[in-house]
Amino acid sequence: MQPGFAFTVEATDGVARVGTLTTPHGAVPTPLFMPVATMASVKGVDIGRVAETGAEMILANTYHLHLRPGEQAVTEAGGLAAFMGWRGPTLTDSGGFQVFSLAQQVKVTEEAACFRSHLDGAAVELSPEKAVGIQERLGADIVMQLDHVVALPGVPEAVADAMRRSLRWAERCRAAQQRGDQALFGIVQGGLDPDLRRESAEGLVKLGFPGYAVGGLSVGEGPEAMREALAATVPWLPSDRPRYLMGVGQPQDIVMAVGLGIDMFDCVLPTRCGRTALVYTFQGPLKLKNACHARGQGPLEEGCPCLACRHTRSYIRHLFLAGEMLGPVLASIHNLTFYQRLVTRLREAIVAGRFAVVARELLAAWAGQRPGDGEA
């Protein structure tokens, strides 16, 4: 680990574990969920309200911040956390997934990913060295290697080629890193092939990263395939380093992944679903626009401490139907709070040695309900 960083495992239940990740901007408990502040903003929720949801670490994106406002503007503001008024740890993704999912006319060579900006069509080149350089100027506590992401299920040869390119890029990112106060994580690729996942993990471990992410999932493969890919990956990652499942996801996926030994998560679903009047609860999701909530006098969820749950379901439904912007804001706050309550409940279950029991109860309550999958 680099100076200012540490990761300690404090309790286990099977392979599920509770730990503490220490960064230069504070220590956070794991398993943890990071709200996504793609462009240095959690959509619809000001940074003070984000903190009130229980969030302790936030993710922002290199691709988006490089295009707008540019890393120089963030640097001049004092770095990412200061730029958005956040006082805790931050993480930046390298932009590899956004090149795959958003950019136009993408061409990936051994040297770099070349593409057209989705904003104005301008030509952009993102190499491993440039991705690290941008993230060093953004100043997050944890930064990610640039990786080559492909859709799943994919042509085996293409998946293998992308995985091995990602390994070579990981080595270049490691060599390019200059700041000693940022932890650079490697990203395991390899699609759904367990042999490729093992090869990727073993190659990254040889490079000695302070943490490891599992990438290239939640790109169309389905929950069972995701579980199998994780089960084939995690055993090859060091037990004394944090493990981060990128871009996932549904509450069911988080419970499953914690049970396989994952420590860190991020996803846009809490705010994306909140903007469409869909809220998460421990009893299952609620679609607030449904007529059954028109006279609902109770909160979105009993026992939830969030700002939204000071109001009735009827009122929040009314806000959506009336086109009032407060509706999406309140629903997003509730969902962000729910995700923090979820990881807190999982941590408590692991410490108590009841993870399997709690996981079964949660999954039974959510059986067959995966709202938000594939929604824009």
SS3 label, residue 183: strand
For residues 112 and 92, is the Cβ–Cβ distance under 8 A? no
The H-or-E segment that residue 92 falls in is strand 90-93
CA distance 286 to 231: 31
Show the tokens assigned to 253: 């996926």
Which of these is catalytic: 93, 147, 253, 263?
93
Helices 223-233 & 194-207 angle (0-180, nearest 10): 40
Residue 93 annotated in active site: yes
Return the structure tokens found at 273: 């679903």
| Count of alpha carbons within 13 angstroms of residue 363, beta-carbon side | 16
Look-up of token digits 């930046």: 92
Residue 336 near residue 271 (C-beta atoms within 8 A)? yes
Per the document, the length of the chain is 376
* Residue 328 CB-half CA count within 13 A: 15
* 257, 245 Cβ separation under 8 angstroms: yes
Strand partners, 115: 124
Which one of 147, 253, 263, 266 is the catalytic residue?
266
Instruction: Look up tokens 């106060």; give the residue.
Output: 181
H/E stretch holding 229 reads: helix 223-233
> Using N-to-C axis directions, what is the helix angle for 326-351 and 313-321, rounded to 10°?
140
Among all residues, which ones are annotated catalytic? 93, 266
